[in-house]
Amino acid sequence: MIGRPPGEPRRVAYLFLLPAFLVYAAFLLYPIGRAVHLSLYDWDGLSLGRWVGLANYAAIVADERLRAAFGHALVLMAFYALAPLAIGLTLAAILNHAKVRGLGFFRTVVFLPQVVAMVVVAVAWRRVYAPDGTLNDLLGAVGLDSLTRGWLGDYTFALPAVGVVGTWFETGLVTVLLLAGMSRIPTELYEAARLDGAGALREFFAVTLPSVRGEIAVALTLTVIAALRTFDLVYITTRGGPGDSTSVPSYEVYHRAFGLGQVGSAAAIGVTLTVAIFAISFVINRFADRGVS
Amino acid sequence: MIASTRKGWPRNMRHARTRAALAAGLVALAASACAPGSSAPPAASSAQPSASAVRTDAAALGNVTLTIWDQEVRGGQNAQMKQLNAAFEAKYPNIKLKRVSRSFDDLNTTLRLALSSNEPPDVVQANNGRPQMGAFVKAGHLRPLDAYADAYGWKKRYPRSVLQYVSYSADGKVFGKGNLYGMPQVGEVVGILYNAAKLTKLGLQPPKTWEEFQTALAKAKAAGEVPMQLGNLDKWPGIHVFGTVQGRHVPADQITTLAFGRKGASWTTPENTKAAEQIVDWVDKGYFNKGFNGQGYDPAWQAFGKGEGVFLIGGTWLITDLEKSMGKNLGFILPPGTTQAAAPVATGGTGLPFAITAKSPNPDAAAAYIDFIANADAMKVLTTNGLLPIADTDQQSVKAGSQQDMFTAFGTVTKQDGLVPYLDYATPTFADTLGAAVQDLLAKKSTPQEFLATLEKDYQSFAESNE
């Protein structure tokens, strides 16, 4: 009895896991399974569904508009994940290195966008981008009148304009995460680097960057998922326009399920999106793990 | 040996086992659960009661509770609803009303589930178009109201061009003809709003012909004014501008066929091309405000209210709010025809119609309620609350100004059956297709020919599959 490892025999261990598993199954596994199930039907949400097999998935590949939506999500990833990471690393390194007085205050300021609901953020930025909005006023004030335009209605700039809102929103989160990671780096490491004659830049690449690898993985995972599931921002600012130039998969899911009554197609897009998010998070964490071990 | 390699399952084998288990689970799920929405369809209400079988004496129906879902949540809409409901309950103490009021968007997204449940509300406000009312009719969730219409005389009071918006064939395929599935309270028409002070300053009168309208636009431009406000960021406002121009070039019956998504018309005609070319010409001449595709709908009409812009193509729903800021300077006309004597053609329709669900156990009481909120007395209540009643419009008295303009315009256009449906009714996806296509056209991302080809593709493929 005493020599038995904890959790043995297995039957007993599974019994302990059962309550949690039931909750998990009821609220997560069942809905996912149901979504997969629905995605195999042509269903309007009202009358009897018609079995169509993988046709809804084939449509995602065949439909130019849906392919474009997934492409837009990729572009948004650069704005949501890569740009905040670059800015966040710089900002956090400076804040950490300089041992700024009132660090808590700055941390609060950069984190502030995260506290505001995305819908509010979107409404505010819509005004910023309006033809008579703040951005154009600023451009006009410095003599760049030729650049003014209705940003969200411009075919070239609408998607980047939406992306910049994402950058603004996510940078604070990334910075705070990285700052936390950097503050845990033992000062001895920096001292050793300095004794070896490393400058500030060298120090950053040799000590700081490898030490926050885990935090970078967390930040990337969070922001990439945020980019892929962007909905509210697009819904409020452009509704996918002008034309279809800012439509994203999550918006299509909502639009098809509740607007057009194409529930099966919406479920198929949702499932595809879920798989994509899983795959990308998996890859990111694979890279982070390799660094740690 | 350590527990992790217990029983010697190689790593990849264990993975295979998990995968097999997962797959088995999915298959079981797919097999055990039947097709979605398979709950027995509601007893087909094809057997319509005749007018004589309908009981119109609501007081004699015994104790009944009616559940009503509406979206009349704002200002005058909410006020009239409360007033009428209270009056109904006072007149028929045996009928209790349970009102559930939600915003337009919330109602739209929840109605589907509610209707397919076992105990749906008795009366619901369902949007006229194919994705809503059409889909509900097709699934057998709404009750045809023709017998009630005969008993209560609705078809005599309501203009034909209004009734078509609540008519579907019993299978939900044909829109605009067939059974009656709902009764609206208020009307809408898209026309031209103008700033009277600015017109006077330009030395102009409100335009009486389409030619005069275009001259006025040119004069406004030359005088350095914004000739026309447009905020097309939300995708749909441009549809109304195109619809208005289309009404000047394309015969009304063709527009109606196209907008109801019926077979027998085409987008790629010389008339439609002319309409598309004209709207592009307006862009070229700078008749719209700068950056209109990036301007929101609300900021655009609010800017018009503040005195930026001479004209605004918009619906009667804007008038109450604009009057607050513009007062006597606000004017409203129907889109003028090619000649002064031309029959009026304008995009327009109804507020959300009230329908009776197929599973409601009290259809007679529900119909009595609908008649009560849409009869001649109710129309007076609507008027005093600042709304545009859909019937008896010319019998209402309102003070001179933009509200009277609106009553006159709607009375004129419905009396001559000149209302043409919203173009986005055509197919379940047409709001999207057309909204994006108009943005493309106005931004000169597509030519008028490409624009019409896009619309033709959506329209024809639907019209064919729907037969």
Residue B51 has pLDDT above 60, yes or no: no
Listed range (A15-24, B44-53, B217-226) with the worst mean pLDDT: B44-53
Cβ <8 Å between A48 and B294? no
Residue A53 maps to a domain = no
CATH of the domain at A147: 1.10.3720.10
Mean pLDDT of B84-92: 96
Total domains present in chain A: 1
Listed range (A281-285, B287-291, B452-456) with the worst mean pLDDT: A281-285
Superfamily of domain B189-348+420-465: Periplasmic binding protein-like II (3.40.190.10)
More confident residue, A34 or A102: A34
Residues of chain B contacting A126 with CB distance shorter than 8 Å: 233, 296
Paired tokens of A225: 């998922």
The neighbouring-strand residues paired with B175 are B168
Residue A50 maps to a domain = no
Residues of chain B contacting A241 with CB distance shorter than 8 Å: 233, 235, 293, 435-436, 439
Residue B12 has pLDDT above 70, yes or no: no
- What's the gap between Cα A149 and its chain centre? 28
Cβ <8 Å between A150 and B294? yes
Residues of chain B contacting A129 with CB distance shorter than 8 Å: 294
What one-character-per-residue DSSP string does A8-25 give?
Answer: -SHHHHHHHHHHHHHHHI
For the CA atoms of B212, B214, B216, B217, the dihedral, rounded to the nearest 10 degrees, stands at 170
Residue B100 has pLDDT above 60, yes or no: yes
Residue B281 has pLDDT above 90, yes or no: yes
Mean pLDDT of B455-460: 96
Predicted pLDDT at A290: 63
CA distance A2 to chain B (A): 16
Residues of chain A contacting B116 with CB distance shorter than 8 Å: 45-46
More confident residue, B56 or B31: B56
Query: From the CB of residue A205, how many other CB atoms can be counted at a distance below 10 Å?
Result: 10
Predicted pLDDT at A199: 84
Residue A140 maps to a domain = yes
Instruction: Using a CB–CB cutoff of 8 Å, tell me whether B286 touches chain A.
Output: no
**Three-state SS sequence of chain B:** CCHHHHHHCCHHHHHHHHHHHHHHHHHHHHHHCCCCCCCCCCCCCCCCCCHHHCCCCHHHCCCEEEEEEECCCCHHHHHHHHHHHHHHHHHCCCEEEEEEECCHHHHHHHHHHHHHCCCCCCEEECCCCHHHHHHHHHCCCECCCHHHHHHHCHHHHCCHHHHHHHEECCCCCCECCCEECCECCEEEEEEEEEEHHHHHHCCCCCCCCHHHHHHHHHHHHHCCCCCEECCCCCCCHHHHHHHHHHHHHCCHHHHHHHHCCCCCCCCCCHHHHHHHHHHHHHHHCCCECCCHHHCCHHHHHHHHHCCCCCEEEEEHHHHHHHHHHHHHHEEEECCCCCCCCCCCCEEEEECCCEEEECCCCCHHHHHHHHHHHHCHHHHHHHHHCCCCECCCHHHCCCCCCHHHHHHHHHHHHHHCCCEECCHHHCCCCHHHHHHHHHHHHHCCCCCHHHHHHHHHHHHHHHHHHHC
More confident residue, B167 or A109: B167
Q: What stretch of H or E contains A59?
A: helix A55-62
Percent of chain A residues topping a pLDDT of 90: 57
Instruction: Using a CB–CB cutoff of 8 Å, tell me whether A36 touches chain B.
Output: yes
Paired tokens of B135: 């889909």
Q: Which residues contact B280 (CB under 8 A, 6 or more apart)?
A: B441, B442, B444, B448
CA distance B296 to chain A (A): 8
Residue B213 has pLDDT above 60, yes or no: yes
Judge if the upstream peptide bond of residue B184 is cis by omega within 30 degrees of 0. no
Instruction: Using a CB–CB cutoff of 8 Å, tell me whether B2 touches chain A.
Output: no
Size of interface A-B (CB pairs under 8 A): 138
Residue B87 has pLDDT above 50, yes or no: yes
Predicted pLDDT at A154: 92
Query: Rounded distance, CA A290 to CA A210, Å?
Result: 12
CA distance B398 to chain A (A): 37
Percent of chain B residues topping a pLDDT of 70: 89
Residue B249 has pLDDT above 60, yes or no: yes
Residue B25 has pLDDT above 70, yes or no: no
Could you report how far apart the first and last alpha carbons of chain A are, in Å?
A: 36
Residue B179 has pLDDT above 90, yes or no: yes
Cβ <8 Å between A46 and B37? yes
Percent of chain B residues topping a pLDDT of 90: 70
Q: Max Cα separation, chain B? A: 100
Residue A37 maps to a domain = no
Measured in residues, chain A has a length of 293
Confidence category of residue B31, pLDDT binned at 50, 70, 90? very low
Query: Rounded distance, CA B341 to CA B204, Å?
Result: 20
Which span out of A143-152, B39-48, B140-149 was modeled with the highest average pLDDT?
B140-149
Find out whether B355 and B113 touch, Cβ atoms under 8 Å.
no
Instruction: Using a CB–CB cutoff of 8 Å, tell me whether A153 touches chain B.
Output: yes
Closest by CA position to A250, among listed A234, A225, A231: A231
Residue A32 has pLDDT above 90, yes or no: yes
Beta strand B167-168 with B179-180 is antiparallel
Residue B225 has pLDDT above 90, yes or no: yes
Cβ <8 Å between B138 and A47? yes
Instruction: Using a CB–CB cutoff of 8 Å, tell me whether B22 touches chain A.
Output: no
Q: Which chain B residue shows the shortest CA-CA distance from A39?
A: B36
Could you report how far apart the first and last alpha carbons of chain B are, in Å?
A: 71
Instruction: Share the mean pLDDT of chain B.
Output: 88
Predicted pLDDT at B455: 97
More confident residue, B2 or B319: B319
Cβ <8 Å between A46 and B138? yes
Residue A237 maps to a domain = yes
Range 156-185 of B in CB contact (< 8 A) with A: none
Instruction: Using a CB–CB cutoff of 8 Å, tell me whether A232 touches chain B.
Output: no
More confident residue, B401 or B46: B401
Q: What residue type is assigned to position A115 of the chain?
A: V
* ipTM score: 0.82
Helix, coil or strand: residue A54: coil
pLDDT digits (tens, 9 = 90+) for A200-246: 888 888 888 889 988 999 999 999 999 998 999 999 999 888 988 99
Helix, coil or strand: residue A241: coil
Cβ <8 Å between A260 and B299? no
Listed range (A18-22, A146-150, B51-55, B215-219) with the worst mean pLDDT: B51-55
| DSSP letter assigned to residue A116 | S
Predicted pLDDT at B3: 36
Residue B95 has pLDDT above 70, yes or no: yes
- Could you identify the residue written with the tokens 């269903």? A43
Of B30, B35, B135, the CB nearest to A46: B135
pLDDT digits (tens, 9 = 90+) for A55-75: 999 999 998 889 999 999 999
More confident residue, B313 or B4: B313
Residues of chain A contacting B129 with CB distance shorter than 8 Å: none
Query: Rounded distance, CA B450 to CA B294, Å?
Result: 22
Say whether pTM exceeds 0.80: yes
Predicted pLDDT at B48: 56
- Among B39, B142, B306, B432, which would you mutate to test the A interface (most chain A Cβ atoms within 10 Å of its Cβ)? B432
Helix, coil or strand: residue A51: strand
Confidence category of residue B33, pLDDT binned at 50, 70, 90? low
Residue B40 has pLDDT above 60, yes or no: no
Residues of chain B contacting A51 with CB distance shorter than 8 Å: 35
Find out whether B184 and B410 touch, Cβ atoms under 8 Å.
no
Closest by CA position to B184, among listed B437, B414, B6, B362: B414
Instruction: Share the mean pLDDT of chain A.
Output: 89
Class of domain B11-25+56-186+351-391: alpha beta
Predicted pLDDT at B117: 85
Residue A22 maps to a domain = no
Residue B220 has pLDDT above 90, yes or no: yes
Domain map of chain B by residue range? 11-25+56-186+351-391, 189-348+420-465
Closest by CA position to B236, among listed B452, B431, B457: B431
Listed range (A170-179, A259-268, B19-28, B169-178) with the worst mean pLDDT: B19-28
Positive or negative torsion for Cα A38, A43, A45, A49 = negative
Residue B45 has pLDDT above 70, yes or no: no
- Among B289, B295, B427, B462, which would you mutate to test the A interface (most chain A Cβ atoms within 10 Å of its Cβ)? B295
Query: Is residue A66 packed enough to be buried (19+ CB in 10 Å), middle (13-18) or exposed (0-12)?
Result: buried
Q: Can you state the angle between helices A103-115 and A158-183, rounded to 10 degrees?
A: 140
Q: Which domain holds residue A115?
A: 63-292
Predicted pLDDT at B4: 36
Side-chain-facing half-sphere of B294: CA atoms under 13 Å: 27
